[in-house]
Structure 1
Amino acid sequence: MKIDVLTLFPEMFEGVFGTSILGKAREKGIVELRTINFREYANNKHQTVDDAPYGGGGGMVLKPEPMFAAVEALTEGAAKPPRVILMCPQGEPYTQRKAEELSRAEHLVFICGHYEGYDERIREHLVTDELSIGDYVLTGGELPAMVVIDSVVRLLPGVLGNETSAVTDSFSTGLLEYPHYTRPAVFRGWEVPEVLMSGHHGRIEAWRREQSLLRTLRRRPDLLEKAELTDKEREWLASVERNEGACRERNEQKSDG
């Protein structure tokens, strides 16, 4: 995979792209990571990339010419157009499913803006995807781009040491991941669940599935609406929810008394 990042601050990516999983993926040749300062594609002697908005208002707006010129230079002669991704608070909420979709692309181009916003023609005629990592505003698109790139690259074959890690991650199955434990078996009186030390793979898998369902129910019940569950699992979750609701009601009554 090839990933290009258009940014006014390429130095922000040096540590992220050179260390940990991304650094190793780069060393192995699994992914090519590049940063391009799109100021180099400005069409004026002062390399201006922003201007005041038509109609007035605060802030500056990124001009279309440098963005279009940069993307066209990166894709000149390419057999297949890249996914051009605009990091923006107005974009589609980013999910693990989207990460899996992007991991199948050959070339990704990220546009990271600063200032008040982008000329609308960049949105309408250049980008293929607008992504948001949350309902809040940052000073630029660099940090969101790092988040998306990390989540995509770790899904590429050969990047993670254990290929099952990405498959069982939270959200990959539509559920939150089950709890993990390691040595020692007893720490400060807290014991590792006995089933995990039983060596019985069938029981372990059943326990992990059950814990994943419980954790999702208690922390992100909204995910259960779209999760692929059996009728038996849905009935079990409904009974758990009823029982826990009844317990909460009894506790509230006791506290009121």
Structure 2
Amino acid sequence: MARTRDIRTNQLDVACDICGRTLLRGEHPEHYLAGGERKTVCDLCITRAQHEGWIRESGADDLELRHPRHEGRGFIERFRGRRDRAAARQEVAEESAVVYEAPPEPAPRREREREPAPRPEPVQAPRSASRHIRAVPTNAELKMQRALDVFNASDHTRTVGGVARSLGAPAVCVRPRPDRPAVVSITVMWELSWYRFEVDLSDEAGGVRRDAQGDELSELIPEEQVPNAAADERGALHLQINT
């Protein structure tokens, strides 16, 4: 009967000293020298190692092969060999570093005087300011009418029209808010549901905001339950102020 053998690999887990990632099987790391220590670097971090000024170990070995040690040479030859290796390693670090070019020197004074001074560009007011900001009416009726114009141009008319087809025509209360004169509150009410919308007349580009909704009319304050507008079949709202 044949015996089964366990197949084991002798490959140890190797991690990159920059990103900390464990290298995959078949991935060959590069070895660098930094601060007198041997560092392992994956293929993805080679550029970072060069920017840090680390020296590739293979490059350092090539430098040492150019100046092999001999047992019979004297102290001066060993000193020169160390100095040459240090200089070569410095050159490798300088080549891998980012080179920044110095800014050009200013032109002589006479040449600067000959050149005409650039004309300042005219400052233009932002177009959005003139388009979005409008004067807020001081009359309450004008405020309510403008708020309804903004509401009727929005998609909220679909909501009012859709609910009206199921629950019937709603009662509508339009009133400027006492604490925020530029804001108009629009409350659309049925017996089983109500919606409150707000329109900021100082920023009509912001459109209509749904402020709240509920199921019981008792949740509203008495002032909101006094209707002064109505809705048509499309969900558009119209003032009905008694004169």
TM-score of the superposition, structure 1-length normalised? 0.17
From the CA coordinates, give the structure whose radius of gyration is larger: 2
The alignment's TM-score, normalised by the length of structure 2, stands at 0.17
Whose helix fraction is larger, Structure 1's or Structure 2's? 1
